[in-house]
Amino acid sequence: MRLFIAEKPEIANAIADAIGGQWTDKGGYKEKGDDVVTWCYGHMLALKEPEDYDREKFARWSFEQLPYCVLPAQRKLKGGSSDKQTRIIRDLLKKADTVVNAGDTDEEGQLLIDELLRYYNYTKPVMRIWFSVNNKKIVTKALQNIKSNKEYEHLGFKAEARAIADQLFGVNLSRAYTLAAGGYTTLTVGRVQSPILGMVVRRDRENASHTKSYYYTIEADLVVNGMSFKARYRPTANDSVDDARRLDDESQALSIVKACQGKTVTILKAVTAKKSTPPPLPYNINKLQQDASTLYGFRPDKTLKITQDLREKHRAITYNRSDCQYLSDEQFEDAAGTLSVMANCPVVASLAANADASIKGRVFDSSKVSAHHAIVPTDEQIDWQRFSGDEKNIYELIAKLYAIQFYPPNLYDETKLEVDIDGFTFYVTARVDTDLGYKKVWGSNSSSDDEDNEDGENAGSVSADLRSLTDGMKGSCTDCQSQKKETKPLPLYTMKSLLNDLTRAAKYVKNKSLAAKLKEKDKDKKGESGGIGTSATRSAIIGNLLDRGFITEKGKNVVSTDLGQKFYDTLDDIIKYPDMSAIWYEQQKQIESLDDVEVFITNMMKQVVEPEIERLKSVQLQVTQTYPCPICTRPMVRLKSSHGYFWGCTGWNDTANPCKHTMNDKDGVPTEREPKPAQNLSEFDCKKCGKKLILRKGISKAGKPYRFFGCSGFPKCKTNYDEVNGVPKYE
């Protein structure tokens, strides 16, 4: 039996479709002759936590148990809804003569299947199929080019090293920092999480410490050949300028204005070029999260959850965690069918119906498709009425960006002038639309729209038709003015700008020589240039920083809290800057085997984790304010349950003098809980525990109201009795 194990169901279906013939659905896998296809739901295994190895030893945090490191690292079943599918894969492996790894075409995709094979000790031949688009032609070609899995195993080992290192880095340093700060609040550390916190804290401080200064712009009103327009002076190497190459000397600015006023104008250079702007590309998850935050105020993790439901529950969109904004050339064939389906969706019907499916734009470029392609609608019929309001909003964004690919580009003529006024050179750029193209139907609410900078490259841009002007033409300067402008601080982060900065975090490394390494990691990724984290993980990491109170949303801005700033100040530079990701990338390039994985982990522990633990053992970090228990005065500690955060007395497990007082959490501060309302006890007793019964109301399965007697000892005693004529029916 040849067993294909795919990373997700849609890949398994694409393989079955490409092989062809009649397949029998067996529930969890499909079968045809000697071929079987089954699938995972992402990672089916997880690394064991310290408590999984020794609960008694690791459940209570202490410096004595650090540093923690178990090699080789062991895995466990993730549990939950995926367990059934894991058992199906296990049983199929027992029968398989050959396995074909059909994970995604990246390091994580390789590991996802390989770790299952190692977990179940599969020793028979393993092959690898390699394709990133579920198009029948592409998959058929990939089936004809199946290779040995050994040619790809090194990719999985790199992902393995990163996963183990991330866990050990986080487990060890989170415990060490928490203990060094007294253990009153959990202080989590992560290779990606901590640099993100660092970026937010540093931005807040740069914004707050901004020193006001001034610069000057000069604009001239010109008339040439009967046409009036404005031109902007661009400072030269001889001018006094600031770091942004803006005039910073008022007297010099006024001198230029005076010299140009009323003088003759000569066009030194006039160039008109035909240009075009294509429609904005479809979404990847990062861009989608940016727009969802701007338009609807959604947190990144909320947007990810909505797209997961759109994909799995409604089958309305393609893979939702993609970091790519392109589609393969072969997917162009699907356009007509997808647009036809979209034409039945109210919010995008007109845009889809008027789209031209024969237009093959820049989005269709197989060379730019990575492990996944852009997030686009599927060609499956959808039931719009079953969508929630949030699902409708996100689907509309995705669908509109796909539909706009089938509209023509915006065509325009751009004229650039260099103008001399009394020896000073001014510049102007003018554009005239010759065909609005997609802009006839497209607004400006997409993350793909560029933002103009009035003092940057777009300075001096005008909406005027200057195409008839040529070199040597003369005119006059009717007015010239200088404007005094105030420098602006770096703006506080918004969720959109933070997500965008995470794709180019290389510019924030402490050791600038490492920036190139981080950029090299993303050399084949469009839209990423030295990013940290992945499109699939950033939302959860930002969510964790928000939930733990290190950062918060203040209006449209994302800012650090007092806790986040104090925690940041205790962190070592190697932790709070993105340098670690660059160092790991460089070291992981050498990984080719499991032995290499262990060498990498051992070195990471010795060079980073162990020295930091030793340092923290001898310091007392002042990160959080301590709050005494109102009952026994011992410190309260902030904890998290399935219902959210709360505070508990640290004396809860003191065998001699226990205190189990708990309090509510309000913005990181303990507050007393509202007293529970007095229970309306009846005169009747519970026959099981002897406590009084309470007359309660309920709703039957048929939807009808009814009354019953429940024990006041609930939830410890869950006994209840039917109510008959106002009394409990004990029999």
* 481 closest CA partner among 260, 300, 270: 260
Closest to 234 measured CA to CA, from 20, 425, 93? 425
Q: Considering the candidates 319, 508, 568, 721, report the single residue annotated as catalytic.
A: 319
DSSP letters of 649-693?
A: ETTTT-SSS----EEEEETTEEEPPPPPPPP-EEEEEPTTT-PEE
Single-letter amino acid code for the residue at 160: E
DSSP state of 489: P
Pair of tokens at residue 420: 């001399």
CA dihedral 167, 301, 443, 450 (to 10 degrees): -30
Cα separation, 198 vs 564, in Å, equals 9
Alpha carbons 507 and 518: distance in angstroms, whole number: 9
Active site residue 319: yes
Q: 159-187 burial, b for 16+ CB within 10 Å, e for fewer?
A: bbbbbbbbbbbbbbbbbbbbbbbbebbbb
Distances (CA, A) of 9 to 60, 102, 501: 40, 11, 33
Cβ–Cβ < 8 Å for 604, 168: yes
Q: For residue 192, which of 624, 496, 521, 544 has the smallest C-alpha distance?
A: 544
Place of tokens 């060609």: 379
User: How far apart, in whole angstroms, are the C-alpha atoms of residue 552 and residue 546?
Assistant: 6
Cα 103 versus chain centre, distance: 22
Give backbone dihedrals phi and psi of 161, rounded to 5 degrees, phi first: -60, -45
Q: How far apart are the first and last CA of the chain?
A: 60
Cα dihedral 493, 494, 496, 502 sign? positive
Name 103's Cβ contacts closer than 8 Å, sequence gap at least 6. Answer: 5, 6, 7, 109, 110, 111, 112, 113, 114
How far apart CA 69 and CA 168 sit, in angstroms, is: 7
Give dist(CA 583, CA 509) in Å, integer. Answer: 11
The catalytic residue positions are 319
